[in-house]
Amino acid sequence: MTPLSTHATRGSVLVFALIVSSIIMTVTTGFFNYFGSAVHAERVALASSQARALAEAGIDKAIYELNQNSSYSGESNVSLGAGTYSISVASIDGNTKRITATGNVPNSTNPTATKIVQASASIDSSVVSFRYGVQIGNGGVTMSNGSSIQGNIFANGNISGSGTITGDATVAVGVDPTADQQWMTQNSAFNIGDTASHTAVAQAFKPSVSASLAGISLNLKKAGNPGDLTIKIVSDNAGKPSTTVLASGTIPASLITTAYGLTSATLDNTPSLTANQTYWVIATIPANATNYFIWGLDSNGGYTRGAAKYSSNWNQQNPAWNSITGDLDFMLYVVGIATSLSGVTVQGNVWASVLSSCSIGGNASYQTISNCSVSGTKHPGTAPAAPVPLPISDSQIADWESIAAAGGTLAGPYSVSGTKTLGPKKIDGDLSVTNGAKLILSGPLWVNGNVTISNNAYLSVSPSTGSSGAIIIADATGNTALKGIVNLSNNVTISGNGTTNSYPMIITTNTGSHAIELSNNATSVILYAPYGTVQIENGASANQVTGKYLELSNNSSISYRSGLQNVSFSNGPGGSWTVIPGTYAIVK
């Protein structure tokens, strides 16, 4: 090889080495650039996650501070963990606030990441759904002398008389007042929906007679804020619940509190049951570790006509059911005497077992009919509707009473003169508001005695409740047969605070024939007497009435307002601030 060839070869090798070296350096530089970018992106992602957690911590801190001081307006640059958070609280109305929380990592001056979260908060309130202008229990309704109901009515008892109903009228199937099956011993509990395996919990029962199912109630309380509880009535399959559903329904979560209470299900029909045959009631809800229901349990298993089980897949093929030690608390009712609608004029549609001597402007669904004019279509042989539970549970009333008592107790008898704002408060004795006096409710007012509002007196709701209403509860502990009577008469005026849905409500637990008397041109909004009679007469009017029995006479009227379908009642300062579900939003 000549020297020239040797030099050429060496030159080629050098060029090749330089090219390879350049490629390696380029690849290495690219790799480090990529690695650096990935690390930076990971750091930004981590910082972003930390900033969001800080903002959410700010929401939690705001709720805590509001429950210590409702005038809390926020704070800035509070150090926590890897960064800081700032909070701003703005009032929307007297009962609602908008919280804005900002999280910065590592700080607000030179942040790597910033997140802003907003949520609305309100004083914890109870939502009640009044879906009818009048809803009455087993006592039924009597109308006479020019009385009228402007809206729909649902009654678990008879409707009779000579008045006028402008909407629809439904008379549910008659219910035997004595439970056919029940077990209410409670010394333990079983959770519904706290884990995936507990999403369906069931109790078996055997009716003692062959009859249609009229209703079922469960002894329940709740943890957190679960959704409505779904109820299924099913047949038996070799000692466990089948997947054959006989009736379905719900128990609204709003009726269930953090204390045990018997709560009734609303069912879609009244299936026929056979005596001494096994059936099951199943309660189901999606799994949630913090929001679930608790079913009262007798761990000794004292109910001899059934057993308790739980499942994670009750409605799938060949579901697996596991035994529960003990029996779950329940009460079961069957159909009793047939109910009827007679004498009245109904401008809308009617559903009832028996129709007689009536005038119906719409369609008529019934078992039997006599002397009734029907402008619409007749539907003979129609099964009557299943009973509907009243819209407020005893547990809710007990909750309101606890909040009222926490606000302090006033000695009774207590008489209001001039203008007085009360609530939450308990009055240990009778309450009277008369002769032009004005009582303003700022929270629940529990009267352990009678309530008399008369002679041009006023009852209204404080502006501080915002769009929520307020409540007077007449509940004479241990003496509901004689006390807790509500008398509203002689041009009494009852109103909200001017804000939509700020309805006042008067509740009594009195069990007598004069639980609530509304008369002599008095006006009211919501009257509630689940165990007694409501009497409205002499030109008086209300916006919604619920009771065991209703007497409506002498040109008196009930005029339903659509806003009552979902109305909230403030628990007042005695309640707690909570985030309103559905208002949480990540702004940035």
Model confidence pLDDT, tens digit, residues 359-387: 999 999 999 999 999 999 999 999 888 89
State the DSSP H helix or E strand holding residue 45, giving kind and residue range, or none if neither: helix 3-68
C-alpha Rg value of the chain to the nearest Å: 32
Average pLDDT, integer, range 39-58: 80
DSSP line for 222-233: EES---PEEEEE
Q: What is the pLDDT of residues 242-251, one digit of tens each?
A: 999 999 999 9
6, pLDDT greater than 60: no
Smallest CA-to-CA distance from 341 within 369, 363, 362 is with 369
Could you tell me the pLDDT band of residue 503, with boundaries at 50, 70 and 90? confident
Could you tell me the pLDDT band of residue 203, with boundaries at 50, 70 and 90? very high
157, pLDDT greater than 90: yes
Residues 158-182 as b or e (16 or more Cβ within 10 Å = b): bbbbbbbbbbbbbbbbbbbeebbbb
pLDDT at 135: 94
Under 8 Å CB-to-CB from 231, ≥6 apart: which residues?
216, 218, 248, 249, 250, 251, 265, 267, 281, 282, 283, 284
Could you tell me the pLDDT band of residue 332, with boundaries at 50, 70 and 90? very high
Cis peptide before 413 (omega within 30 of 0): yes
pLDDT at 497: 87
Q: Using CB atoms within 10 Å of the CB of residue 410, give its burial: 0 to 12 exposed, 13 to 18 middle, 19+ buried.
A: middle
Select the highest-mean-pLDDT range: 52-56, 128-132, 425-429, 489-493.
Answer: 425-429
pLDDT above 90 covers a percentage of the chain that reads 66
> Of 39 and 64, which is predicted with more confidence?
64
> Which two three-digit tokens encode residue 588?
């940035």
Residues in a beta bridge with 135: 154, 546
Q: Are 572 and 95 in contact (CB under 8 A)?
A: no
Conformational region of residue 436, where left means phi above 0, alpha means psi within -120 to 50, and beta covers everything else: left
Could you tell me the pLDDT band of residue 39, with boundaries at 50, 70 and 90? low
70, pLDDT greater than 90: no
Cis peptide before 424 (omega within 30 of 0): yes
Q: Are 288 and 238 in contact (CB under 8 A)?
A: no
> Of 220 and 124, which is predicted with more confidence?
220
pLDDT at 331: 98
Residues 111-144 as b or e (16 or more Cβ within 10 Å = b): bbbbbbbbbbbbbbbbebebebbbbbbbbbbbbb
pLDDT at 499: 83
Strands 577-579 and 113-123: antiparallel
Query: Cα–Cα distance between 410 and 422 in angstroms, integer?
Result: 10
pLDDT at 243: 94
State whether residue 573 is helix, strand or coil: helix
Query: Cα–Cα distance between 542 and 499 in angstroms, integer?
Result: 18
Query: Cα–Cα distance between 407 and 430 in angstroms, integer?
Result: 18
pLDDT at 570: 62
Q: Using CB atoms within 10 Å of the CB of residue 316, give its burial: 0 to 12 exposed, 13 to 18 middle, 19+ buried.
A: exposed
> Which two three-digit tokens encode residue 380?
């003979």
Conformational region of residue 276, where left means phi above 0, alpha means psi within -120 to 50, and beta covers everything else: left
pLDDT at 1: 47
Could you tell me the pLDDT band of residue 91, with boundaries at 50, 70 and 90? confident
- Cα distances from 21 to residues 8, 12, 18, 90, 316, in angstroms, run 20, 14, 5, 64, 66
> Which two three-digit tokens encode residue 490?
């002689």
Smallest CA-to-CA distance from 322 within 301, 307, 303 is with 307
Average pLDDT, integer, range 453-462: 94
**DSSP designation for 562:** G
> Of 122 and 87, which is predicted with more confidence?
87
Q: Are 45 and 98 in contact (CB under 8 A)?
A: no
pLDDT at 383: 86
Pseudo-torsion of CA 313, 314, 319, 323, nearest 10°? Answer: 100
Under 8 Å CB-to-CB from 533, ≥6 apart: which residues?
139, 512, 513, 514, 515, 516, 547, 548, 549, 550, 551
pLDDT at 16: 59
Could you tell me the pLDDT band of residue 572, with boundaries at 50, 70 and 90? low
354, pLDDT greater than 60: yes
Q: Average pLDDT of the chain?
A: 89
Average pLDDT, integer, range 487-502: 89
CA angle 328, 333, 336 (to 5 degrees): 170
pLDDT at 30: 55
pLDDT at 128: 77
> Which two three-digit tokens encode residue 26?
């380029």
pLDDT at 4: 46
Side-chain-side CA neighbours of 454 within 13 Å: the count stands at: 14
Amino acid making up residue 469: G
18, pLDDT greater than 70: no
Q: Are 232 and 308 in contact (CB under 8 A)?
A: no
pLDDT at 180: 97
Q: For 198-202, 348-352, 472-476, 575-579, which range has the lowest pLDDT when averaged over its residues?
A: 575-579
> Of 31 and 260, which is predicted with more confidence?
260
Chain mean position to CA 241: 28
Q: Are 331 and 220 in contact (CB under 8 A)?
A: no
CA angle 313, 319, 321 (to 5 degrees): 90
pLDDT at 454: 95
Q: What is the pLDDT of residues 519-571, one digit of tens each?
A: 998 887 799 999 999 999 999 999 899 999 999 998 999 988 766 766 667 66
Select the highest-mean-pLDDT range: 74-83, 109-118, 509-518, 552-561.
Answer: 509-518
State the DSSP H helix or E strand holding residue 415, giving kind and residue range, or none if neither: strand 414-416
115, pLDDT greater than 70: yes
pLDDT at 356: 97
Average pLDDT, integer, range 455-470: 88
Amino acid making up residue 167: G
